[in-house]
Amino acid sequence: MSAAVPLPAVHPRRRAFSVLRGTGVAGIASAVVIAVATLVAIFGSMLAPYSPVAANISLTFVGPSASNPLGFDFEGRDVLSRLLAGAQSSMLGPLAVVVGALLIGTLLAVVAAWRRGSTDAVIASGLDILFAFPGILLAVLAAAVFGVGLLSASVALMIAYTPYVARVLRGAAMKERGQPYVAALEVQGASGASICLRHIVPNMMPLIVAQATIMFGWAMVDLAAISFLGLGVQPPTPNWGFMISENQIGIPEGYPLPALAAGVCIVLVVIAFNVLGERLLEQAQAAR
């Protein structure tokens, strides 16, 4: 009998590129938009040609020029500089929400699937209670208790998003829990924590990544709305959501560009995350 030839290991980077190619042209274009937005969030403050917080009332709502392609806002600040610098808080907040909700939601889903019985029932009941509280309502409550700011708003949304993550991942965790390899590992004496961390969670990773991508778009919209209401990022810190709020007075006066530019940035990034997330979710569901 000839010995079985081992299959070559696939490098994670090649696997990621293969998954991205599978999302099609729309998915690749969305990934490019996300990559550009991420780079701007990291280096935007250094790329800003002018100070994003220095005001000059004499330049209020002055239109675009060669040196200021997007003109000035209601306090005479360069709009392009504020967009570049504001990308950091606009992207960092949703990232914190997604990471926190995924960690807690994945933990609850895996524990519920592994222990089942009364543990699963208690977790499900707790998630049902959290479903009753919309994210923005929790953010308003957090602002009233802990004060306004990006941190309290992000924590509130993280709590609100956790039941959605746990509910979706619980089904996948239940399916993995019933696989024959889990029973074989238990017979071999592997601990529950080891099986969950080394096998169940990695096998759920495509679905986790897809959920994270979609949820990032939700979080960006919600945090932009919270900042628009004045409960998120506070002035003079630049933020895309707050830029829409502070420049809305220019719209009826015929100066829509400062608010419109920030809104376009939010829409482009949210669409990119939603499109890529939907394509990744389709791949994850097809592979299950």
Written as one string, the DSSP assignment of 100-146 is HHHHHHHHHHHHHHHH-HHHHHHHHHHHHHHHTS-HHHHHHHHHHHH
The C-alpha R_g of the chain, in whole angstroms, comes to 23
Q: Which domains does the chain have, with CATH numbers?
A: 23-49+69-173+204-287 (1.10.3720)
> What are the C-alpha distances in Å from 191 to residues 115, 158, 201, 203?
13, 30, 14, 17
- DSSP of 185-243: HHHTT--HHHHIIIIIHHHHHHHHHHHHHHHHHHHHHHHHHHHHTTSSSPTTS--HHHH
Tokens of 27: 């998915």
pLDDT at 2: 43
Among 4, 224, 264, which residue's Cα sits nearest to residue 256? Answer: 264
Residues 236-280 have pLDDT tens digits of 899 999 999 999 999 998 999 999 999 999 999 999 999 999 998
Residue 118 has pLDDT above 60, yes or no: yes
Cβ(227)–Cβ(241) below 8 Å: yes
Q: What pLDDT digit, counting tens, does each position of 44-90 carry?
A: 999 999 999 999 999 999 999 999 999 999 999 999 999 999 999 99
- DSSP code at position 72: B
Could you give the 3-state DSSP secondary structure of residue 22? Answer: helix
Q: How much is the average pLDDT of 154-182?
A: 92
What would you measure as the largest C-alpha separation in the chain, in angstroms?
Answer: 87
Rounded to whole angstroms, the Cα distance separating 30 from 266 reads 13
Type of residue found at 115: R
Structure tokens that stand for 77 in this block: 């600040």
What is the model's pLDDT at position 240? 95
Q: What is the pLDDT at residue 16?
A: 75
C-alpha span between 37 and 84 (Å, rounded)? 9
pLDDT grade for 12, boundaries at 50, 70 and 90? low
Mean pLDDT of the 156-175 span: 92
Q: How far apart are CA 284 and CA 272, in angstroms?
A: 18
Cα separation of 246 and 287, whole Å?
A: 46
Whole-number mean pLDDT of the chain?
89
pLDDT of res. 170: 92
Compute how many other C-beta atoms are within 10 angstroms of the C-beta atom of residue 37. 20
Contact 127, 166 (CB under 8 A): yes
Overall residue count recorded for the chain in this entry: 288
pLDDT digits (tens, 9 = 90+) for 196-215: 999 999 999 989 999 999 99
pLDDT at 9: 47
> Averaged over 142-153, what is the pLDDT?
88
Given this model, what pLDDT does residue 275 score? 94
Tokens of 162: 């956790």
Which pLDDT belongs to residue 5? 43
Residue 3 has pLDDT above 90, yes or no: no
pLDDT at 221 over 50: yes
Task: Give the rounded distance of the alpha carbon of 73 from its chain centre.
Answer: 28
